[in-house]
Amino acid sequence: MLLRHTPTGLSERKALTINPAKTCQPIGAMYAALGLRNCMPHSHGSQGCCAYHRSSLTRHYNDPIMSTTSSFSEGSSVFGGQANILESFTNIFSLYNPDIIAVNTTCLSEVIGDDLVQIIKKAAEDKKIPEGKTVIHANTPSFKGSHVTGYANMAAAMVKYFAKNTGKCNGKITLIPSFIEPSDMSEMKHIASEMGIKYIMYPDTSGVVNGPMDGHFRMYPKGGCPKESVVASGDSKAAIAIGRFGAMSATRLLDTQCKVPVHAVDLPIGITATDIFVDMLRKIAGVSVPESIRLERGQLVDVLCDMCQYTYGKKVSLLGDPDILLPMVQFCKDAGMEVLHVLTGTPPGKVKLEERIRELYGDKVIVKAGLLCDMFMFQQLVQENKPDLIMGNTYCKYMCRDLDIPLLRIGFPIYDRIGQSYVPMVGYRGGMHLLLKILNIFMDRQDRDAEEENVELIM
Amino acid sequence: MSENTQTTATPQKYELPISGEQFRDETAAAYSPKLGKKRKRQIIVNKVDDGDTVPEILANTRTAPGILTMRGCAYAGCKGVVLGPTRDILQITHGPIGCGFYSWLTRRNKTRPKTLDDPNYMTYAMSTDLQEDEVVFGGEKKLMAAIDEAVALFHPKAIGIFATCPVGLIGDDVHAVARAAEEKYPGINIFGFSCEGYKGVSQSAGHHIANNKVFTDVVGQLDAVKEGKYRLNMLGEYNIGGDAFELERIAEACGLTLHSTFSGNSVYDEFASAHTADLNVVMCHRSINYLAEMMEAKYGIPWFKVNLVGADATAKSFRKMAAFFGDSELIERTEAVIEAEMVEVEKVRSEIRPRCEGKTAMIFVGGSRAHHYQDLLREIGVITISAGYEFAHRDDYEGRKVLPTITVDADSRNIEELKVTADETRYHPRITAEDKAKREAGGFTFSDYRGMMPEMPAGTLVIDDANHFEIEKLIEYYHPDLICAGIKEKYVVQKQGIPMKQLHSYDYMGPFAGFKGAVNFYREIDRLLNCNVFKFAKAPWDESPELTATYNN
C-alpha cells in the first residue's frame, strides 16, 4: 500500500496539511506570464522557488519553461532585494532580450516588504529598462490563496500595466481564461473564430508551452498574446472572465480601469457550460451560432445519448481547482453520474462553490474547499464511500492504486501522462474528448471485471 | 578480468574544434564586464599536470541575479536531497504550501518497506501551510499543533522539521519547537533544520545543514550492531531509479553487510546506529563528505570515495572495499561476483559500443554525477568534451588537496562548521594509524577525492554553474551528440534536435548504478544516440524550400 497510513473517516486537524490539493501563488503567476508574447517571467525571491516552478511546469508540459530569478542570498533577505532585481533587469534585457519582464513576488520578498512599484519606477528612472520594453509585476505571496490566485493576480497585472481606454471601442471581445491548458485556450479561440467574433485573449499560453519540435529552440515561442492586444483590450466592446476564480480579478480591473462591460462564465467544460459560453458570446457579439459549432455540439450530444448507459448512475469523486470543478460537476450531472465528493485546496473566497454544487446534487454531495482540505482528507472520504471514478491530478494515482479506482487525470499537475496540452477538454470538441475518456475508462473496467460469460463483443 | 574490459582509461588530451579559450572569451564578452570577468574564472580549459595539478576554478559562488540558472535552494538540498529518501522519519515542511508540494515524490527516491506494517511516510507531503496571519504573528504555535497531529495520526519514531524562507525571517525557531515537542513526546526524536532557501548559494548549503543535524541528533542514538563480518555505510547514494537496490544486491553477493545507506532506501534505526559500522564509503562527495569526516573524528570510522556508476568503476570500488577489510575469502568472492556480472556487461557493451564510439557528450549536473557519468559514457566510447557541476565546490573539481586553500566567503560562512571531537566511550579507530600509513604508502587512499578535473582530458571545458546562455553557446560551437543535465534543460536541448538525458531523475528509468545499471545505461544511450526520431524535425519540404514548377505547353 502506497498510502498505508491514511485512516478511513475524517481525522480532525487544525494545523497539519497532508498531501496538498493546491500549491503556491507564484507558479500560477509564472504560467500566466508565459501567456504574453516575448515575455520573460521573473521570480523575485530565492533561486529555489524559480527552480521548483520551472521544474513543475516542465514536467507537466514537456516543453521548455523559461523564467529568471532574483537569486536572493542571505544578505538580500536581510537588506532587501532591490539590488538583486535591478541587476536582474540588466542581465535579462542584455542576454535574453524580452519585450516584457513579468515579475512575481514570493513569500520571501513579500515578508521583506520589497516595494515592486517603487523598484520598477526606479529602474525606469535609472534607465535599466530599455526603450520600448516593459516590466510588470504581480504580488503573489505564497501564504495566501493558491496557484489559482497567483494566476489571477498576474492576469490582473497585465490589465493594470497595459490596458488603455482611448475612448474608441474596437468592437472586440476580450476573453480572459482561468488557469487552464493551452489546448483549451486554443479551443475557446476556435469557437470565437467560428462565430466570426473578433477577440483578444490573454493569458494565452497556446503555442508557448505546447510548441512544435522543428529543430529550433525559441526563448519566446510564437504563441502568447502580444502586448498591443492587451493594451487594446481596454477599448474592447466587452470582456468575459472564463472561470471566475482565475479570471475575475482581471475583468474587474478592466471594468474599473477602462470601463469595459464585463461578464463571467464558468469554463466551458461539458455541454451545459459550453452552451452558456456560446450563448453569451452570441448575445454580446450579436452573431448567430454557425453550422460548424452546431455540428460539434450535435456530435457530442449524439455520443452522450448513445452511450449514457455506461455513465448513468456511476459515482465520481473530484479533486482540483474550483474553475475546473464547477463545470466538471455540471458535466457529471449532464451525463447522469452521481458526484460523491468535491475537494479543492483553493480557498473559495466569495465564489459560491459549495452552494452551486448543492444546487445540482443537494445535500448528498460532500464539498470541501480551502485550508486543510487536502488529498489526505479526500482519501479519507473516498475510503468511506468508494466512487467508481476519481478525477484529479497525478498525485491521485497513489490512492487510486491502493483502492483500485480508475483515475481520469484533469487539472494540474499531470506529470505522468501526455496530451492535456494538445487535446482540449473545453468546448464541444473538448467535451467529446472528455466523454470518450470517461466512457473508455468505464468500458475497460467492465471488460476487465465481467464474468467470462458476460464479456460483450458489442458495447 | 581480461585486458579488454579496461575501456575507461582517460585520453590525455582532447582537441576541441574551436579552442576552449576562444569559447570562454567570446561567451564572457556577452556579459557585463564584471560578470564576464567572474565567469571567466568559472569557465576553465582543463589541463592536468604531474601530481594531478589542475587549473583553479571558481565554484560555490553566487549565481548572478537574472541569469537562467539550473540551481535550486538550501531547502531543496536539505529536505529534497539528503533527508527526503528516508521513509520513516516523518518530515514536516514549516512554511507556505509550495516548498512541501514541489518536494513531494519528485526526486524519484525509491524505497522498499520490508512488510506492509512498516512505516513509509515518503508518499505523504506534510506542511504547516502558513497563512498570512501566522506570518505576521508567528507560526510556532501552528508548528507545534502540526507535530501533535502528526504524532496522533502516524506515531513516528522520528520527526524532521524543515524551515522555509519566511520562517527564518519571521523568527520562528524550529529548534526550540523541536525541543519542546521532544519533551512532550519523550519516545520520539524530533529535530529541526534551518534550511531556509536563501541560505548559501545553491542546494549545497542545504546538504551541509542536513549533514550537521543528522550527525548531532540522529547518528549515535542507537548502539545496535547489525550482524555481519564486513559492515559498512554507503554515504551519498539516494536510490534514484533504484540505484541503491542494485548496490545492495551487489554488496550482499560479495558478502558485505550494508549497515545503512544515507539515504536511499533507508530507515531511522540504520542512521541512528550507523556509528557501529566499520567503514564509510562515499558516493556523492559534495552532498555528504561532511558526515564522513565527522563520523571519522567522533567514532574512528575511516572513509574513502567510491564510484559505483559505470561497470568498471563499480568493480574497482567493490575491490577497494574488499581490500579494506583484507579478508581473502571476501576478496575472492568479490572477484567472483565481478567476473560473473561482467559477462552480461561486456556482451551489451561490445554490441553497443560500435554504434556510440566517438560521439561527444556534455554533462552539467549535480555535485558528483558530472564526474561519475563520464566513466559510464566512456565505457561505450562516448567522450565528454565539457562538464561542470551545478552546486559543487572547488574540491569536487580539483580534489580534496585544495581544501586548505579554499577561501570561505560570506555566503558559506553562515553555514555552521561543527567542531567534532572523539566520543569518550565510543571512539575506536577501525584501523591503527600505522596500518593506515602502511596502506597509504601502498597506494590505498583514505579520506580523499581526486576530483573531476584530473580525470578529464586536457583541452576539454570545465564549466561551473553553467547557465542557459552558455549551454546555447556550447551547442552552437561544438554540436555535441548528447547533453546530460536536468528537467529544466531537457526540452531546451531536445527542441534543437539533440538528445538530452536527465541525470537527476534519469528520465524515469534506472537503475544506472552498479552492473545492471551500467547495462541499462548503455542501452539508454544507444537509444538516445541511434533511435533517429530527431530526424523528423525537418519536414521533406524544408530541404528544398524553393518552389519549382514546369509548364506543359
For residues B165 and B152, give the distance between their C-alpha atoms in angstroms, rounded to a whole number.
28
Residue B2's pLDDT band (cuts 50, 70, 90): very low
E strands present in A293-429:
315-319, 338-344, 366-369, 389-392, 407-409
Structure confidence at residue B45 (pLDDT): 98
B421-427, long-range: CB within 8 Å, 24+ apart, which pairs?
Answer: B421/B297, B421/B298, B422/B297, B422/B298, B422/B300, B423/B220, B423/B275, B423/B298, B423/B299, B426/B220, B426/B223, B426/B275, B426/B298, B426/B299, B427/B298, B427/B299, B427/B300
Same domain, B235 and B194: yes
The DSSP bridge partners found for residue A41 are A102
Mean pLDDT of the region A266-284: 98
Q: Convert the pLDDT of each residue in B182-224 to its tens digit.
A: 999 999 999 999 999 999 999 999 999 999 999 999 999 999 8
Same domain, B280 and B235: yes
The answer to whether B495 contacts A142, with C-beta atoms less than 8 Å apart, is: no
Chain A residues in contact with B153 (beta carbon < 8 A): 5, 7, 11, 16, 18
Report yes or no on B461 lying in a domain.
yes
User: What letter does residue B414 receive in the DSSP assignment?
Assistant: T
Dihedral-angle region of residue A145 (phi above 0 means left; psi in -120 to 50 means alpha; beta otherwise): left
Structure confidence at residue B552 (pLDDT): 65
For residues B41 and B18, give the distance between their C-alpha atoms in angstroms, rounded to a whole number.
19
Which domain does B18 fall in, by range?
3-70+452-537
Tell me, what amino acid is at B11?
P
Structure confidence at residue B10 (pLDDT): 74
Same domain, B55 and B129: no
Q: What CATH architecture applies to the domain A173-211+218-292?
A: 3-Layer(aba) Sandwich (3.40)
Strand B126-127 vs strand B158-163: parallel, antiparallel, or unpaired?
A: unpaired
Q: How many domains does chain B have?
A: 2
Map out the domains of chain A as residue ranges.
Answer: 25-161, 173-211+218-292, 294-453
Report yes or no on B11 lying in a domain.
yes
The answer to whether A91 contacts B146, with C-beta atoms less than 8 Å apart, is: no
Report yes or no on B385 lying in a domain.
no
Same domain, B200 and B166: yes
Same domain, B492 and B502: yes
Structure confidence at residue A178 (pLDDT): 98
Q: How many helices (H) and strands (E) does chain B have?
A: 22, 14
Please say if the pLDDT value at position B304 is more than 60.
Answer: yes
Same domain, B198 and B249: yes
Determine the distance in angstroms separating the CA of B266 from the nearest CA of chain A, rounded to an integer. 16
Instruction: Report whether CATH 3.40.50.1980 matches the domain A25-161.
Output: yes
**Which of A59, A74, A112 is the closest to B487 by Cβ?**
A59
Structure confidence at residue B1 (pLDDT): 37
Chain B residues in contact with A67 (beta carbon < 8 A): 68
- Positions of B annotated as catalytic residues are 73, 76, 107, 207
The answer to whether B132 contacts A141, with C-beta atoms less than 8 Å apart, is: yes
Structure confidence at residue A393 (pLDDT): 98
Mean pLDDT of the region A313-321: 98
Query: A interface mutation test: which of B62, B68, B408 has the most A CBs within 10 A?
Result: B68
The answer to whether B165 contacts A77, with C-beta atoms less than 8 Å apart, is: yes
Report yes or no on B112 lying in a domain.
yes
Q: Convert the pLDDT of each residue in A348-403 to its tens digit.
A: 988 889 999 999 999 999 999 999 999 999 999 999 999 999 999 999 999 999 99
Structure confidence at residue A350 (pLDDT): 80
Same-fold call for A173-211+218-292 versus A294-453:
yes
The answer to whether B101 contacts A20, with C-beta atoms less than 8 Å apart, is: yes
Q: Convert the pLDDT of each residue in B451-509 to its tens digit.
A: 999 999 999 999 999 999 999 999 999 999 999 999 999 999 999 999 999 999 999 99
- Cα nearest neighbour of A67 on chain B: B68
Q: Say which residues have a Cβ less than 8 Å from residue B162's Cβ, sequence separation at least 6.
A: B75, B78, B79, B83, B91, B92, B93, B94, B95, B99, B174, B192, B193, B195
- For residue A413, cis peptide bond before it (omega within 30 degrees of 0): yes
**Which of A71, A76, A89 is the closest to B69 by Cβ?**
A71
In this structure, what CATH number is given to the domain that contains residue B45? 3.40.50.1980
Q: What are phi and psi of B134, to 5 degrees?
A: -75, -30
Same domain, B408 and B521: no
Mean pLDDT of the region B399-404: 97
The DSSP bridge partners found for residue B445 are none
The answer to whether A88 contacts B65, with C-beta atoms less than 8 Å apart, is: yes
Same domain, B53 and B160: no
Report yes or no on B267 lying in a domain.
yes
Please say if the pLDDT value at position B546 is more than 80.
Answer: no
Q: Convert the pLDDT of each residue in B506-535 to its tens digit.
A: 999 999 999 999 999 999 999 999 998 999
For residues A18 and B107, give the distance between their C-alpha atoms in angstroms, rounded to a whole number.
18
Instruction: Report whether CATH 3.90.1150.10 matches the domain A294-453.
Output: no
B210 three-class SS: helix
Exactly one of A50, A107, A329, A342 is catalytic; name it: A107
Residue B4's pLDDT band (cuts 50, 70, 90): very low
Determine the distance in angstroms separating the CA of B224 from the nearest CA of chain A, rounded to an integer. 27
The answer to whether B66 contacts A65, with C-beta atoms less than 8 Å apart, is: no
- Cα nearest neighbour of A101 on chain B: B66
Q: Convert the pLDDT of each residue in A244-264 to its tens digit.
A: 999 999 999 999 999 999 999
Report yes or no on B15 lying in a domain.
yes
The answer to whether A19 contacts B124, with C-beta atoms less than 8 Å apart, is: yes
Closest by Cα among A50, A114, A45, A76 to B411: A76
**Which of A52, A58, A112 is the closest to B169 by Cβ?**
A112
Of B537 and B151, the one with more pLDDT: B151
Same domain, B291 and B169: yes
**Which of A15, A52, A73 is the closest to B149 by Cβ?**
A15
Same domain, B79 and B181: yes
C-alpha cell at B326: 583484507
Residue B543's pLDDT band (cuts 50, 70, 90): confident
For residues B531 and B324, give the distance between their C-alpha atoms in angstroms, rounded to a whole number.
43
The answer to whether B538 contacts A215, with C-beta atoms less than 8 Å apart, is: yes
Determine the distance in angstroms separating the CA of B69 from the nearest CA of chain A, rounded to an integer. 7
Q: Say which residues have a Cβ less than 8 Å from residue A396's Cβ, sequence separation at least 6.
A: A319, A375, A378, A390, A407, A409
Report yes or no on B381 lying in a domain.
no
Contact B76, A51 (CB under 8 A): yes
H/E element holding B362?
strand B360-364
Please provide the average confidence, as pLDDT, over all residues in chain B: 95
For residues A209 and A31, give the distance between their C-alpha atoms in angstroms, rounded to a whole number.
9
Determine the distance in angstroms separating the CA of A213 from the nearest CA of chain B, rounded to an integer. 5
- Cα nearest neighbour of B498 on chain A: A215
Q: Convert the pLDDT of each residue in A36-74 to its tens digit.
A: 999 999 999 999 999 999 999 999 999 999 999 999 999
Same domain, B153 and B234: yes
Q: Spell A220-251 as b/e; 16+ CB within 10 A means b.
A: bbebbbbbebbbbbbbbbbbbbbbbbbbbbbb
Mean pLDDT of the region A182-197: 98
Residue B5's pLDDT band (cuts 50, 70, 90): very low
Same domain, B66 and B86: no
**Which of A3, A87, A111 is the closest to B66 by Cβ?**
A87
Closest by Cα among A341, A342, A338 to A323: A342
Determine the distance in angstroms separating the CA of B7 from the nearest CA of chain A, rounded to an integer. 34
Exactly one of A111, A289, A303, A423 is catalytic; name it: A111
Report yes or no on B355 lying in a domain.
no
Residue B545's pLDDT band (cuts 50, 70, 90): low
Structure confidence at residue A408 (pLDDT): 98
> Which DSSP string do the residues of B11-72 spell out, in sequence order?
PSB---SS-HHHHHHHHHTTS-HHHHHHHHTTEEE---BGGGB------S-PPPTTS-----
The answer to whether A64 contacts B495, with C-beta atoms less than 8 Å apart, is: yes
Closest by Cα among B207, B209, B213 to B391: B207
